Structure formats: C-alpha cells, structure tokens
Amino acid sequence: MVVSGMSPAPQAGKNVKPEGLMKAAVLHGIGDLRVEMIPVPEPGDGEVVVEVMRCGVCGSDIGRILRKGTYRFPTVPGHEFAGRVVYDPEGKLCGTRAAVFPLLPCFRCDSCRAERYAQCSSYDYYGSRRDGGFERYLAVKRFNLVPLPDGVSYEEGAMCEPAAVGLRATKALGLKGGERVLVSGAGPVGLCTGMWLRARGAAEVFFSDIDARKLELAGKLGFGIFHRGDSGFDCAVEGTGAGDALADLIVAVGPHSRIVLLGNPGGNVSLAPADYQAILRKELTLRGTWNSSFARNDNDWAEVVAAVADGRLPLGRLITHVISLDELPETVAKIAERKEFFCKVMVDNER
C-alpha cells in the first residue's frame, strides 16, 4: 500500500529520483521520537540517493533518543544501515547494494590528510549530526558507500559498523596467536570483537557481563564465560566503559599484558588505589581505540565485508529482533526498560 503523497519505491535498476514524501523516525527532542512523513531528500554535490533497506539499532541510538539528544533537532537517527542506490545523478551507481560508513570527514585537517578519518577535527556523522538511516531514502556521499557482494545480505551490511569497530579494537590488541583473551561487555560490538579475536588467532575468548542473558548468548556462540577470580589471561578488551569492568580485567590479566579500551563511559570512571597500582606493578599497556578505519590501505569495512562473504563472521547470529520502522519508538522504550533481552535489533524498511 502506498500512503498518499509518499514516493513509490523505484524499480530496481531504474535510475529514477524518488520524490514526494517518505516515512521516517524523527527525533524532535530528547524522548520525542515520532514516525512521520517527511520530504525525500535531494542529493547534493557528490551524493547519491540510497533506499535504506535495513538499519540496526545501536546502544548509542538509545542514549541519544532518550538521554543525550542529537546535535540538532529535528534529526533522523540511525548510523548502522545498508541499502541500494536508486538514483545517481551521474548514472553510474544505480542498483549498487552498499553499506554506509557513517562518518563524513572534512578532508582538510591533518588527520584527514593522513586518512585517519576517525580523528577528523571537524567531522559530520549520519544519524547524530545529520539525518541517518531510520528513513526510507537518504542522500549519501559516494565516498561513504561500501559495496556489498551478492552473498552478503542487507542485514549483514547494516552490521558492518559494529563489526568494523570490533575489528579496530582487535587490531589494536596486537594478537600474537594462541592467546587467552578476556572481553568485558557481551553486547553486539563486544560479540563482534570476540568473533574477530577468534578469527584472527586467539586460542580462547572469554566474556564478562552483568547481564546473564548476554552471557547465555555468548556461550551459545562458543565463547567462554568469565567468573570473578579467573586469572591468567594474556590480554583483554574493555567494552563497557565501566570502572568495575576495567578493574576486573586488570586483576585477571598477567604481568606485561595489554588492555584495549573500547567502551564509551556513561559517567565518571574511577579505580581503587589497589587496581591502579596493579597497572604499575604488572607494567600493563592500556590503549584506546575509536570507531574504525576507512583508509585506502587500512579499510576495516572492506575486511568486514570479505569476512562475512567467506563465512568467518556470522553476524546474522547476533540479530534477535527484526521490526518495522513503525515499531521503533515502542522498541526503543522496551530496550531502555531492560525487561526483555535484546542483542541486535534490525529495522526492516520492507515491512
């Protein structure tokens, strides 16, 4: 059924610019997410129009919608998405299936000139600083398209973002092969990290989390479960941003171990003097990691797509809920209530 005034979906392979109105989940203010009809965007310089087929719900989306807000209102959230190009002003990319790298670099600062786009001093971002993927059509920069081979689904394409973040953390850890690794936080990014650790040579990967339901899923995926008091880990990834979780890792790893910090803190992070001193006595190495690499010679996204295509990264196993765009506001509230277990929620725009 086509709602009056809504642009019908262009036929596959036809380079036709959609016009009129489309459905979108629009954040008008903190806690005020509405599914409504808005104009289809016009492509600007260097942009194509993508029909968003799938968009994942990230934990940061929940925080922005309910607590922090986006950088302006109104905004369409959503930064984990994939779709197909339905209109290209140059007539070259129509029909291309693609995931989308959500960070838009300035290309002018020192970091951008070195292709370290995650450290751009003046970046834009789909879903927080400008409209993102919780809508039917989006004008997307050509630079940000990540083509998907036929064997990679839109669902898997929409999960490229958390998988690329997990790959960046795995690379930062510098695996030496045959090591026992402990990961705190068994959410989607943490589990993606675990998949990468296993694929890149870790002997064993264990998870810690305060939510037993998350640990149950980690166990079903073949990972070990950490119990307080376990020790002898060679290295670790902290994926929660919580001081207590970091303290557990500091105690659990051996001397001269490495810990990669991945999780965003929800507030102040503190350590007891004994835990801080353990960093010194064990001569631990702590390294931060942020976002993912999209450089020509170090492209995490290309590596994710290749690993999904050849079966090394079964991202679909992390999807626990598939919803329509109309169901998004209610689902966001349920996720925040924590009464029901959610891993990755996927918005299906074909519903």
What's residue 206's pLDDT? 98
What's residue 266's pLDDT? 86
pLDDT at 3 over 50: no
Collect all residues with Cβ–Cβ distance below 8 Å to 1 and sequence separation of at least 6. Answer: none
* Token digits of residue 119: 């450290």
Which secondary-structure segment (H or E) carries 306? helix 300-309
What's residue 8's pLDDT? 61
Closest CA to 308 of 51, 82, 53: 82
What's residue 14's pLDDT? 85
What amino acid is encoded at 145 in this protein?
Answer: L
* Mean pLDDT, rounded, for 50-74: 97
pLDDT band at 6 (very low <50, low <70, confident <90, very high): low
What's residue 12's pLDDT? 62
pLDDT at 230 over 70: yes
What's residue 122's pLDDT? 97
pLDDT at 7 over 80: no
Summary mean pLDDT of the chain: 95
What's residue 4's pLDDT? 41
pLDDT at 10 over 90: no
pLDDT at 307 over 60: yes
Q: How many CA atoms lie less than 13 Å away from 232 in the CB half-sphere?
A: 3
Angle at 128 between CA 123 and CA 269, to 5 degrees: 85
Q: What domains are there in the chain, each with its CATH number?
A: 21-158+314-348 (3.90.180.10), 164-288 (3.40.50.720)
Q: Is the dihedral of CA 78, 314, 326, 62 positive or negative?
A: negative
- CA atoms of 210 and 239, how far apart (whole Å): 12
* Mean pLDDT, rounded, for 128-156: 97
Angle at 26 between CA 25 and CA 32, to 5 degrees: 105
* Mean pLDDT, rounded, for 71-89: 97
What's residue 27's pLDDT? 98
Query: Which residue's structure tokens are 């941003």?
Result: 241
pLDDT band at 5 (very low <50, low <70, confident <90, very high): low
Cα 105 to the chain's mean position, in Å? Answer: 17
What's residue 291's pLDDT? 97
- CA atoms of 54 and 155, how far apart (whole Å): 6
146 neighbors 91 (Cβ within 8 angstroms): no
What amino acid is encoded at 4 in this protein?
Answer: S
pLDDT at 42 over 70: yes
- CA atoms of 266 and 268, how far apart (whole Å): 7
The alpha-carbon radius of gyration of the chain (Å, integer) is 21
Angle at 325 between CA 292 and CA 55, to 5 degrees: 15
pLDDT at 54 over 50: yes
* Mean pLDDT, rounded, for 205-222: 98
- CA atoms of 275 and 245, how far apart (whole Å): 11
Instruction: Give the tens place of pLDDT for each residue, 165-178.
Output: 999 999 999 999 89
**3-state secondary structure (DSSP) of residue 328:** helix
